[in-house]
Structure 1
């Protein structure tokens, strides 16, 4: 039975409508004569539909429709009126009327149509209500499901229950419309990319399959969630969608991983024991690869420490580290104080975990001594009797390192150290045995060589013409070679083991021996000192003595002395000096006599020139004779200077003062002297001033227009160059290299030759570098070590 509220302001129409509808037998009719009365009845009763007239006082049918839709949005409403304007029909339908029926015509047919409309509206509204109830039931099931459920339109999420939102850790607005592969790990557990795996299972579900597969999401905080996804096809309102039921299996996965890691750890310990007899490198490499595996890391290293814990030697790297990074396979040693993060376990003497890496940590000087994409790091120290002996480090675990990782790495590395310690002890013992055997063999060989060497050297010493003496720390001779008897005639046995006989030496030589004893005590060797020993027959033998102190375990133990008889050499040297003295005396006397004769000849020539009359021929002859006299004088002076060259030792000469001294000996009428050299000292022959004099005299003699002579200095790297130059006519290019040769020149040809000899005899050099027409320029090169600069203060 359908209960209908019929509303009209005309009672007659209400009665007719009730009779027609109730006569059909499917309706129970209630009436109301106004909109207000209809609202009141709706509040107190239950109705399946409302049929209302349009035009009523106070509240029209449209106003009643709007009130009904506000409070009872699902109640069927039919507007039954005599008005048929199109705008009223549109407004009624837009306001929520289910049907619009116009009054007029055959009443029976009209009310039959009304009954049909009422039944249809009630049926439609009932289906809609059931659909809503069904959807609400589905939503309730959807939201209360124990697993996360996502509804997808192909590859995008269009709906999700609250468990799905919670699982992903995102807000609903973000989840709706997102592509799952965008919030998932790029590579999924089966090795496929997230995009490929998702597309494959969408295809399988749309083909009628119900695929089940593992999938990894990641939350905004980076946490990875392991899930199992069951995907199936879902049709809603004729629309084909996909339903994905997602089960969080992270706990199960962790348990499986823990179980697998425990098996790997057990295998690592068993494997470590199995290779205990292999070499140290194989053992450490195996332990390191096991450490990387059990901590789920990507990189690893192993380092040993010295006994003082100051130095770390990086001994082994994991295979991936060697493959991806530039790492030397040789052990690399570092001072612990200079290490970065990889030395923290030593400095803090405990395991160090770094899960959040900062690019510029204030307490870390450097991360690792290799270039790796560093994310996370952990290293542990291994102790032996309170000292750190080894450090193991791993890096870049996908998840954070934790205390369990520290515990497992400690267990593995302590087991490793036990094997390494035994291995090192065995290797040390083996090495010592080899070294001991080698040492015994070397001692045997050395003893044989010493015997052979002693025989050879004793033969050399016994046959040596030099005197060889060994003195003990009390300066008493404990060995004297046989040559001592040959030199002095004394019996060696009467001298050995007794204090030195100082009566065999002069007083000066006794003082030399005393000084020698004092110097030797300080470790200074004896170098070339001469002494004379009085022989048994009264003559003296001159010896050139050399010696070295002998030490044993840093204690002075005596002196070894070698003396060479230089008596014959001294006699020859004395004879040469006497002959040289006689030759020099003869040369001086000869020069003196020649100069006296030349002076007399010059005087006569001057007297002749002072006469009142003599013809031009005689004048020319006298001038030529005078020139010959001057030339002879110059040659005699040259022989004197050349004879002195090299006889006296080089000395430090002030170059500026030598220049001034040379200038003072010349006739410089109208000539300007410019001395720009001061504080420069040159180590050269004492005739250096004579060389400068010859250079200046050369300028005056051959410069023609010279009115300025200057001396300056130039630095040339480590050496210096003294420059003496004038402003005369200069030297022709073809003569520059020849002017220092003997006999070259317009006068005697010896002036510049002597200059060259004086300078080059002590390591200096000279060259002419002037420009013809602008003046002569002589450059004297002084190498390092042959000059010094002394300021007035110094």
Structure 2
């Protein structure tokens, strides 16, 4: 939500009391900021004079009166709101103030609250009007800037169609200065379309105020530029056209592309149906002339024998003149590489001046087949200055198609020759084919290859034809053969069938018969191919027998097995499945879908797993509740594998394992583990309690000891016992009993040590151990080390200091862990040596570090603290 900008005014008056009163009232009651100025001269020298939203001027001032100041300000800024404030007569002064440029007039005196409220009212009205005018000016400036930067045309007209504004994009397209368009009517720019423009504007009404129109603008040198306009009429209250706005763009290029596209499309269709080179070249030359707008054209082809270009085809009114020019041009440029590069060659009016010709522009476009130039398109014009750049690429495209068409026509001719040759080769292939081949006209055998004689054990075709061909087939093949030969089925395309045949010696064969409708000797015929598949049939039979034995063997396996197709429908399941599910094999209770193997609640999850196996083509497994009696649930482990045929999934195989007893044993084992976990936690809890009892007994003993050294030793023992007790407390409070979250433990330890020393010093601990977890033994050892170091710091490091910091950091990386302990106290004594120290605490630190196979180093900075580092193997933690 936008908020209104606060108002800030300048009050110019020589009465300080009045200035302060008005400033306080306007700022408190009306939230109007007020700056004050004690004289007119001071106001004129202010640099921020016109940064205020409004000026309030006193009429009577000693140095410069209000009217004079008003005139000076208006000479510099004619828009800022100004209010005249005076104690003189209202009518006399008001006229002078208003005439001098004041926006409002306020008379002093009367009720102060009414006076100040009236002043605030005038301030708000004046500022609101001033800001609205400034916003309008800014919007107008931005509007003009945007309009000038648009690539589209913008034109504004009055109700009569006279132009009042055009942007730079439209002026650039017209190539006309803006001052020449002032007062010119819009339709005069398109004189041939005046009535079309008037009708379009007349078509507009308040309900449908806009219309689209395309207009041609005639530029220099006979060039036409097409403009597309959206004209919108703006109506007044009387529904009269008050203003006309038009937004347009140059569509010449798009129209040219569309025109060329239509020509090229028609040419493509014509070339596709052309069967001769002459017709193809005629269509192409006509399209090239139409695309380029050039009047005359010809095609020259290369004679392979003489290696010269000769005229093949020409069109247009100046064909003879073009032929003469080309003849002279080729002689003149015979030494130049014009026709040998294979690149298009364009001549403009400037180039043509050195030739005596009526033409002003020429184009030579090569016709290429693969990498060789086979001819040229030559186009000429006596009107164009040069070949337009936007038609050069389409012209080259027309020429490039010719090479493809010539290749196609030659290929068709070669194909006709190849067909004749293929018939001869077909007969040769048929004679040597291992398949039996016969040509049937009606029910007669018109041809029989040697493989057929061998297949049916005959010595000659005549012997084979002694009885009808259908007599060699079994009953099923006879029915199929009669359908093909005696009905209209013979002409519908290839057909095939498999069955048994008998030779002349009564030997049984299994073969595949294929019929193909053909034409033979001008008559309809059937090509019959007989392929001996006896050995393949025997292999298939052996495979069927093998599969039968597999199914019988699988059916008697104790493990439940099944197969399903890609839709999840069961295709096989053995007796083990039935035994597992306690189901009968009769039709009333037989299994249908693979999902029937599991309980109804888990069928959706089972179907998802089945689908995933068939998509990913990888074996998967899962645990489910078997279908059957809900009072006696059986748990199964289901393993699925895809059945892949020719790279595609044709179904799934699965094996079921009853894991009910395993699940029950796991559940029992889980309960036992939970019981052990409770016992171990109770054990650690009691160890912690016993250590706390020992610590409490030591504290009681302290009450009977007066020796400070003994008391200190007992106190240190308490700290060590508490440190070990804290490990057991942390352990039984965590989820895992295998290791300890060291961050929680060391925080509690640091707090316990700090609270154990009653001191007024501000000792802070900074701990950074991350999420490190340590075993019980390592945690106890590291905890004792930290305890000894903290006790040492609390006793000796911060003597005569009000505060201090202890830092503890533990990090593990690669194969080692590093414990870093430091404080900012007074440091260790001069010449400190950990190996020679007699202090029990520091000796313990050294011994404990060796216990975890750690390396202990101590850095001492007298007056600036100490740093202790213990580096130990990671496997210890």
Q: Which has the higher contact order (CA 8 A, sep 6+)?
A: 1
Compare CA radii of gyration and give the structure with the larger one.
1
